[in-house]
Structure 1
Amino acid sequence: MQQNKISLPGNLLGNEGSLLQQGYSTQAILTYNRDGIKARPWRIKEWDFYQVSNDDYCLQLTIGHVSYAGNISVKLFEFATGQHYEITKMLVLPFNRLRMPLSAEDGDLTYRRKDMFMEFQVSNGGRRLICKAIGKGSPPIDVDIELSQPDPTSLVIATPFDEHPSMFYYNHKINCMPASGVVHIGDTEYRFEPDSSFGLLDWGRGVWPFRQDWYWGNGSCYVDGKRFGFNIGHGFGNTTAATENMLFYEGTAHKLGQVIFDLSAGGYMSKKQVTSDDGRFEMEFTPIYDQITATKLLFVDNSCHQLFGTFTGQAVLDDGRIIEVKNMVAFIEHAVNNW
């Protein structure tokens, strides 16, 4: 399929509130002009989601809102044992009070209350994730993680929805960020080392339909000492102009066509074949842990199966080089959103 690579800087939205350019880029060259949104205020959705993981456990930090409801959460879970810690604070009618940054590459984001402090700091070449949380039914959680960002390339995509011209999804995902730091949960310590741990940022801004399903997969690892990662997915709007499927290898992005996978066939914990229509992503996925989430607040009724497991197979770069992947721990998910 022919995909449009956006190369002309400018505003994301035009005077009518629709996308001026549709497609993908490997750097954020479009400006998220939030004041250009023409949809009703309660239709706006914005989030910053960080995930830090290794082969044994995963940390997730979220600051986000769907205008009439918000979510501040910290989670850590172990794949082998199923041990799960979580402290979540739900917000009623936050709208724009969280002051989400207009760029994934600039601007810190802070949430501060007496029982929850979370801050995402952005600097040249890295990020720092800090959280101190106290919640009922969970020991206190203390997070201090640094992510290095050695690569200039990432996935940025501007996607429309067919339901209405004012609906869009502007998304920036950053892979392959080596992670270092520590998480204390009560008396238990979880360490992340840069030779075995990576961070991921999912930065989303948009106006969505009320009901939407999506499928998303992402992972980062070292292959023969080189940074390798991927992002795959569908269901995020009309992807005629571009998919959000991309490989990353030592700082260079390699665009893929359509990648389709069905997670529910045979049960979520059964082995899956994940393939691309251009033959450049051929993987067998073996689930090891199903991170099931469900959120209900006001009009929000969301659920997600996030399957962590191992990918084994091949990925083909733009120049034809074949990357052999073996037992790469990563995830694919199916989310059903009513929001």
Structure 2
Amino acid sequence: MTEHETEDDTEHDIEREITADVALCLPDGRLNPDAVGWSRAPLHDTSGIGRGVRGLGRNKRWEYWAVVTPDHVVALTTSALDYAALHQVWVWDRASGEEVDAVAIAPLTGSATLPGRLGGGPVRSRTRSVAVAVDERPGGTRLRARTARVELDVTVARPAGRDLLAVVVPWSRRRFQYTVKDVGLPVAGTLRVDGVDVPVPVGSWAVLDHGRGRWPYRAAWQWGVGVGSGVTGSGTRHEVAVQLGGTWTRQGPTTENGVFVDGRLHKVHDELDWTFDRGAYTRWWRVRGERLDLTFVPAHDRVSRTQLGVLASSTHQCFGAWSGWVMTDDGARLDVECLDGWAEDVAQRW
């Protein structure tokens, strides 16, 4: 097996937790040093991204939602990349393996509406072939989508007091990214594929990836998510979700790694070691750090490639299950088995 490891010998200091509202950008458009850190709530105002000529061509804004049911996975994307907008609705039938995919790429960004702050306004993808609408409602978020074959209308609940992970990753004063990962939220509603209603039963969950930043032309990352439960040594069972990142944060002072136990975020400050096989993505993956050791067994590899002039991407998003152990802030170890989720490997030219 040819293994690929993303490993960094640099020790990360304990990252700064942000607890008050802050602007991501200074008035001149550069990174605000006070914005660098992580938070449990969406405290950053990112309205400076995409405004004016600062970083023209490098501004990237997106909203990605995944809805996971026992039978299907649905992914919605609204994105604005400065010189183009990319919108997508994708559905995977776990039983048959069928993928239903609709992608729309439009010049410039007029087909996308993305607020300057998470929850600060509606999200819209407006094209003939793909329509996405995201709207905040009391206690949650309504997701709607329409393509020729798919209709979705679900509400994602946000239980009171539940944490998310928001982090600013700086590469320089001119290149930086703000990301929010909200993992394992309860969801209910309706999904229709080819005119057939598909259940979204109790136990279904959703994940948000909210991104605003200025990226270098070439980028690569790994991203892993798992949702399920874990057991302490005393036999107590807890709700557990994991948020795992790799590669793209290695040169900065912050990571996007965390463990959620009963809705409370336990921030993982160190970089993680990812081991997987780019020649055979459906073999096992392993992700290790000081506070977790997880093995991922894929069941399906979603392959996506785009080649449009300066815009190119390659994505392998594998769906399957995570098992191993995680550790909380107070040193408690939880054994986890069959956390439902995914692991992905992405390379971008954008």
Relative to the length of structure 2, the TM-score reads 0.87
Distance in 2 between residues matched to 1:208 and 1:42, nearest whole Å: 9
Indicate if the aligned counterparts of 2:65 and 2:207 stay in contact, CA closer than 8 A.
yes
- Please report how far the alpha carbon of residue 54 of structure 1 lies from its aligned counterpart in structure 2 after TM superposition: 2.9
Pairing of 1:31-50 with structure 2 (within 5 A): 31-34=45-48, 39-50=54-65
Distance in 2 between residues matched to 1:265 and 1:84, nearest whole Å: 22
1:137 corresponds in structure 2 to none
Among 232, 240, 249, the alignment partner of 2:244 is 232
Unmatched 5+ stretches in structure 1: 135-139
1:145 corresponds in structure 2 to 154
Which whole-Å deviations, capped at 9, do the CAs of 1:262-316 have from their partners, x for residues lacking one? 333562111122211x1x2111111111011112224110010011111111111
Distance in 2 between residues matched to 1:307 and 1:267, nearest whole Å: 11
Indicate if the aligned counterparts of 2:288 and 2:294 stay in contact, CA closer than 8 A.
yes
1:9 corresponds in structure 2 to 21
Which whole-Å deviations, capped at 9, do the CAs of 1:53-73 have from their partners, x for residues lacking one? 134421001110211111111
Distance in 1 between residues matched to 2:93 and 2:276, nearest whole Å: 21
- Are 1:303 and 2:311 counterparts? no
2:166 corresponds in structure 1 to 156
Among 336, 347, 350, the alignment partner of 1:325 is 336
Distance in 2 between residues matched to 1:115 and 1:316, nearest whole Å: 45
- Are 1:24 and 2:61 counterparts? no
1:126 corresponds in structure 2 to 140
Distance in 2 between residues matched to 1:318 and 1:108, nearest whole Å: 35
**Residues 267 and 143 from structure 1, CA distance in 2 versus in 1: closer, same or farther, beyond 3 angstroms?**
same
Which whole-Å deviations, capped at 9, do the CAs of 1:233-255 have from their partners, x for residues lacking one? 12334554221100111121101
Distance in 2 between residues matched to 1:70 and 1:215, nearest whole Å: 23
Distance in 2 between residues matched to 1:269 and 1:113, nearest whole Å: 34
Query: How many residues were matched structurally?
Result: 328
The amino acid that maps onto 2:214 is V
**Residues 37 and 228 from structure 1, CA distance in 2 versus in 1: closer, same or farther, beyond 3 angstroms?**
farther
The amino acid that maps onto 1:157 is V
**Residues 237 and 310 from structure 1, CA distance in 2 versus in 1: closer, same or farther, beyond 3 angstroms?**
closer
Pairing of 1:84-233 with structure 2 (within 5 A): 84-94=99-109, 98-134=112-148, 140-150=149-159, 151-162=161-172, 165-195=173-203, 197-223=204-230, 226-233=238-245
Instruction: Classify the secondary structure of the residue corresponding to 2:276.
Output: coil
**Residues 202 and 37 from structure 1, CA distance in 2 versus in 1: closer, same or farther, beyond 3 angstroms?**
farther
Distance in 2 between residues matched to 1:319 and 1:105, nearest whole Å: 32
Which whole-Å deviations, capped at 9, do the CAs of 1:11-61 have from their partners, x for residues lacking one? 111244123232211112222131677633221110000001134421001
Unmatched 5+ stretches in structure 2: 1-11, 232-236
Cα RMSD, aligned residues only: 2.1
Residue identity (%): 23
1:262 corresponds in structure 2 to 275
The amino acid that maps onto 2:288 is T
Indicate if the aligned counterparts of 2:229 and 2:336 stay in contact, CA closer than 8 A.
no
Indicate if the aligned counterparts of 1:233 and 1:260 stay in contact, CA closer than 8 A.
no
**Residues 14 and 287 from structure 1, CA distance in 2 versus in 1: closer, same or farther, beyond 3 angstroms?**
same
Relative to the length of structure 1, the TM-score reads 0.90
Indicate if the aligned counterparts of 1:73 and 1:86 stay in contact, CA closer than 8 A.
yes
Instruction: Classify the secondary structure of the residue corresponding to 1:166.
Output: coil
